[in-house]
């Protein structure tokens, strides 16, 4: 999960930088509604932890460091070469090691703590400020939203997430100024701008470590006010716009901005830009075509960045790497998978060798076992500590095997209380503990290669795929050759 969030954050950073780069052009020729919508879509994108990248993105950034791959001997090897009567590739659990936190685990904990603290800080600040002003508030108009006069504030605002209200300072406004102020806040209310600000807050919380997201939120809040101004003055003449500008100038004081409120002031320079936008807005274009073009370009730029290198460092022993090597010589397999055999401690029984490696799958720590027989790569196994992850990955492997070998081979009478066909399971909730879910395929095998692999005592070799569910949410996925007489 964290790797996906970092990938989305990096690609989002590219989008943010691009929008900031073209912002001067947009401010000069187009209305703020274009920027308002672009920031909203970008915030939504940042909340969806699904990286959208090209198959071979030109920009690769370092990914989160997975658990370091260490080769070590196994107390419980992966079992001898299977025959029809010996169907478990690994029938014994490896010795449990003391639980350790990988770098990814540590970073995940830090990210979770940061996001939680970020949200907690804003929630507490909101509750404290609401408690502070409540005794000083008097409802003047009971409507939706209610209009409330508060002696503790100095500037008007729409405030409150679940029950929004228009807060007005205890000031003597002229009827026209009051009308303009209320119209401004009601536009915020009708546009659901408090939900817009909540969206920005959540995106900021998820990406609290990214300074560019803070910058995005700042500019999005400014454009929210600009877009509201544009809605209020739409179709109005210059005199109305001037009066509206004066009303804002009189209403804006030194009030501090609060979460779940539409208050926004900015510095002198920002206020000058805001007034200029109001007075010259009639000359600017709506920018529908520009919005579509910018959305397309921004999305494309986001796909050019990936935080994982060209080779999957988080799972270098994935089935997409190991499955094509089935039946290959050991030397080629170790070289392709970049396993240093000279420094590795391996488990050897008779003609079988096993390499036990640590690896990570979707932030779930696990083990990978490479199985060799007569120096031929006979199969591999993934030992995972999460049924959901194991079932999802097993489905991917099952589909790949069907594409590679075609129709599966079925043996009658091979279903029992602790053995079932994998295809009989349609959801992870159907898995039962200590059951072997399997499927078989009979690939075409070169006779010379088969003799090298298993000698002359067997007439056929099947490929057996197994998902074996074990206690304590542990599951093994095995793909290996099974010799048949």
What's the chain's Rg over C-alpha atoms? 31
Greatest extent of the chain over all pairs of C-alpha atoms, in Å: 102
Among 24-38, 285-299, 300-314, the minimum mean pLDDT is found in 300-314
pLDDT bucket at 67, cuts 50 / 70 / 90: very low
Return the number of other C-beta atoms located less than 10 Å from residue 299's C-beta: 15
Query: Per-residue pLDDT for 119 more than 60?
Result: yes
In terms of phi and psi (left: phi > 0; alpha: psi -120 to 50; beta: otherwise), the region of 455 is left
User: Residue 340, by phi and psi: left (phi above 0), alpha (psi -120 to 50) or beta?
Assistant: beta
| CA distances to 5, 224, 228, 279, 402 from 284, in Å | 37, 17, 15, 11, 58
The predicted structure's pLDDT at residue 319 = 77
- C-alpha distances in angstroms, 78 versus 90, 150, 326, 401, 448? 5, 73, 16, 21, 25
Concatenating the DSSP letter of every residue in 311-350 gives S-SS-TT-HHHHGGGTT-BHHHHHHHTT--GGG---EEET
Structural contact between residues 197 and 220, judged by C-beta atoms closer than 8 angstroms: no
CA dist., res. 57 & res. 308, Å (int): 10
Structure tokens at 41: 């879509």
Per-residue confidence (pLDDT) for residue 95, from 0 to 100: 39
Q: Residue 342's CB: how many other CB atoms inside 10 A?
A: 6
* The pLDDT value given to residue 98: 42
Summarised one tens digit per residue, pLDDT across range 461-485 is 888 999 999 998 899 999 988 877 6
Residue 65 in 3-state DSSP? Answer: coil
Instruction: Lowest mean pLDDT of 123-132, 187-196, 459-468, 473-482, name the range.
Output: 459-468
Most confident of 297-311, 354-368, 371-385: 371-385
Check whether 58 has a pLDDT greater than 60. no
pLDDT > 50? residue 50: yes
Long-range contacts of 19-25 (CB under 8 A, 24+ apart): 19/216, 19/294, 19/298, 20/215, 20/219, 22/294, 23/219
Q: What is the pLDDT of residue 215?
A: 95
How far, CA to CA in Å, does 280 sit from each of 231, 243, 276, 377, 423? 14, 14, 6, 73, 66
Distances (CA, A) of 114 to 1, 107, 198, 209: 15, 10, 18, 8
| Rounded Cα distance, 472 and 99, in Å | 14
362-388 pLDDT per residue, tens: 777 888 899 988 888 889 999 998 898
Calculate the average pLDDT of the chain.
Answer: 79
pLDDT over threshold 50, residue 457: yes
Predicted pLDDT of residue 212 = 95
What are the extents of the domains in the chain?
Answer: 2-62+106-306, 71-85+315-484
Locus of tokens 């509750």? 127
**How many residues would you count in the chain?**
485
* Higher local confidence (pLDDT), 308 or 53: 53
Q: What pTM does this model have?
A: 0.58
Count CB neighbours of 436 within 10 A: 21
Chain centroid, CA 310 distance in Å: 19
Q: How far is CA 475 from CA 92, 190, 193, 386, 468, in A?
A: 12, 52, 47, 7, 6
- Residue 344 pLDDT class (50, 70, 90 cuts): low
Higher pLDDT, 19 or 97: 19
- Residue pair 67/367 in contact (Cβ under 8 Å)? The answer is no
């Amino acid at each position: 999960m964290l790797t996906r969030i970092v990938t989305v954050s990096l690609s989002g950073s590219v989008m943010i930088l691009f929008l900031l780069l073209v912002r001067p052009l947009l401010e000069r020729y187009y209305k703020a509604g274009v920027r308002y919508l672009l920031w909203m879509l970008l915030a939504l994108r940042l909340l969806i932890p699904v990286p959208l990248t090209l198959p071979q993105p030109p920009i690769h950034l370092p990914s989160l460091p997975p658990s370091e791959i260490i080769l070590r001997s196994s107390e419980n090897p992966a079992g001898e070469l299977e025959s029809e009567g010996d169907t478990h590739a690994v029938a014994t659990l490896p010795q449990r090691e003391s639980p350790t936190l990988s770098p990814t685990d540590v970073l995940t904990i830090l990210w979770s703590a940061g996001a939680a603290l970020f949200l907690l800080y804003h929630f507490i600040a909101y509750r404290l400020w609401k408690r502070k002003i409540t005794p000083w508030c008097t409802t003047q108009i009971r409507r939706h939203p209610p209009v409330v006069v508060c002696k503790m504030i100095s500037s008007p605002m729409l405030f409150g997430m679940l029950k929004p209200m228009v807060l007005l300072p205890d000031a003597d406004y002229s009827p026209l100024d009051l009308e303009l102020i209320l119209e401004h806040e009601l536009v915020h209310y009708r546009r659901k701008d408090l939900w817009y600000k909540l969206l920005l807050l959540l995106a900021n919380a998820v990406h609290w470590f990214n300074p560019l997201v803070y910058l995005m939120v700042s500019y999005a809040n400014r454009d929210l006010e600009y877009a509201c101004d544009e809605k209020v003055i739409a179709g109005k003449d210059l005199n109305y716009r001037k009066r509206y500008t004066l009303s804002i100038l009189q209403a804006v004081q030194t009030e501090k901005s609060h979460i779940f409120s539409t208050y926004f002031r900015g510095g002198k320079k920002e206020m000058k830009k805001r007034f200029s936008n109001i007075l010259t807005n009639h000359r600017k274009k709506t920018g529908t075509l520009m919005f579509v073009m910018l959305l397309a370009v921004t999305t494309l730029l986001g796909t050019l960045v990936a935080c994982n290198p060209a080779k999957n460092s988080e799972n270098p022993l994935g089935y997409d790497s190991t499955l094509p090597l089935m039946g290959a010589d050991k030397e080629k397999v170790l070289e392709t998978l970049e396993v240093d055999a000279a420094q590795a401690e391996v488990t050897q029984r008779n003609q079988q060798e096993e390499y036990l490696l640590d690896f990570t799958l979707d932030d779930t720590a696990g083990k990978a076992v490479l199985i060799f027989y007569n120096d031929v790569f006979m199969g591999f196994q993934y030992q995972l500590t999460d049924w959901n992850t194991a079932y999802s990955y097993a489905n991917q492997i099952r589909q790949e095997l069907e594409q590679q070998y075609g129709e599966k081979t079925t043996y009658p009478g091979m279903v029992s209380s602790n053995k079932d066909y994998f295809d009989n399971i349609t959801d992870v909730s159907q898995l039962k503990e200590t059951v072997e879910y399997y499927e078989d395929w009979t690939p075409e095998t070169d006779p010379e290669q088969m003799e090298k692999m298993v000698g002359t005592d067997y007439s056929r070799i099947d490929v057996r795929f197994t998902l074996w569910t074990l206690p304590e949410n542990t599951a093994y996925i095995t793909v290996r050759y099974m010799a048949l007489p």
